[in-house]
Structure 1
C-alpha cells in the first residue's frame, strides 16, 4: 500500500498542478506574418517567358497557379508553358513551406520536360527588401548539378517579374537572365484553356 501511495504522489508531482494524465495539444496559432511573403503568387497568372535554354523556343507562354496549404504555412503552385503551336514545353510543381525556426522558405520542386518526370530540386528562399530571392539546386537532364538564382521583383497586385541566373559548374560561371518571366494576373492564354 505504501508503494502505491508513493507512486501516486510521484505521478501527480511529475504531471504538475492542473494537468491531467493526457497531454493536450498546443492551442492552434495562425501562421506568422512572414508566411504571407509569397501570397502575391496566389491565384492564376498568364506568363510570358524568354529563355536562353538550349532545346526550347526562345519565347513561350503559359499559366502559373498557386494556392495556400498547410494551414497557411505553405503554398502549392503549378507552372506550365507551351510553344506557339500549343505543345507543352515545360511543366512543374512546387511545394513552398515557411520555416518558422529559420524564417526562410524551404521548397521542393519537380518538373516534367519532354515527357520525363522526377527531376527534383531543393530550393531556399528569403525576402530581401521588396523582392523574394530563391536559390534552386537540382540536376539538369544531362546529370549536371545546376544552380538557379531566382528573383521575384516588380511585384504588383496584377503583375510580377521573375528572372533566373543559371550556373552549371557549381557557381564558377553564370548565364545572366537564363530565364525571364513576366506574369499578368488572370489573363487567359491559348495554353490555359
Structure 2
C-alpha cells in the first residue's frame, strides 16, 4: 500500500511539473526595446554607467542590473501585471527603494510613476520615461516633483547605446 501511494504521489508530482506555464500576453513585450547590454551617457556625452536588461521568468518580467560610473549599483524588477493592466517596477539601490507603475503612452514611450517619502519627510513623485529612438538608442528621463506634479526637475537624463 505504501509503495502504491508513493508511486501515485510521484506520478502527480511528475504531471504537475510537466505542465507548461501560461505564455505571457503580448503586453508583456511592450518594454522589449529596453532589453540588452547598454552603455549610458549624459546629454553632454559623459558616460554615466552601464545597464544590462534581460528577460526573465519565461518572458513575464525584465531584470535590470545598473552600475554607475562611480561604482554604485541598483537593480529593478519589471513586470506586466494582467490584473491591473499596468507595468510595475521595483527599483532598489543603496539610496533606497521605489515602486513605480504605468505603461505605454500614445507615442510608444514607457512612462512609470511612483511616490515615496524622502528622508526630510517630504513626499516626492518620480516619473521615469523610456523613449525608444529610431536609431536603436533609448533615452531614459527621470523627473521628480515635490509639489504633487505641478513642476518637475530632471533627476537623470541618459542615452542608452547598445554595447558592441
Normalised by the size of structure 1, how large is the TM-score?
0.66
Alignment RMSD: 2.6
Mapped pair 1:126 → 2:103: yes
Whole-angstrom distance in 2 between the partners of 1:94 and 1:70: 14
Deviations 1:106-139 (A, max 9, x none): 12111124xxxxx111100201132111113234
Normalised by the size of structure 2, how large is the TM-score?
0.76
Residue of structure 1 in register with 2:3 after alignment: none
User: Relative to structure 1, is the Cα distance of residues 66 and 30 closer, same or farther in structure 2, using a 3 angstrom cutoff?
Assistant: same
Segments of 4+ in structure 1 off by > 6 A? Answer: none
Mapped pair 1:155 → 2:155: no
Residue of structure 1 in register with 2:89 after alignment: 107
Whole-angstrom distance in 1 between the partners of 2:66 and 2:43: 15
- 5+ long unaligned stretches in structure 2: 1-11
1:9-24 to 2 correspondence within 5 Å?
Answer: none
Whole-angstrom distance in 2 between the partners of 1:125 and 1:155: 20
Number of aligned residue pairs: 147
Residue of structure 1 in register with 2:148 after alignment: 170
Whether the 8 Å CA contact 2:33–2:132 is kept in 1: the answer is: no
* Alpha-carbon offset, residue 60 of structure 1: 4.8
Residue of structure 2 in register with 1:64 after alignment: 51
* Alpha-carbon offset, residue 168 of structure 1: 2.3
* Alpha-carbon offset, residue 75 of structure 1: 0.9
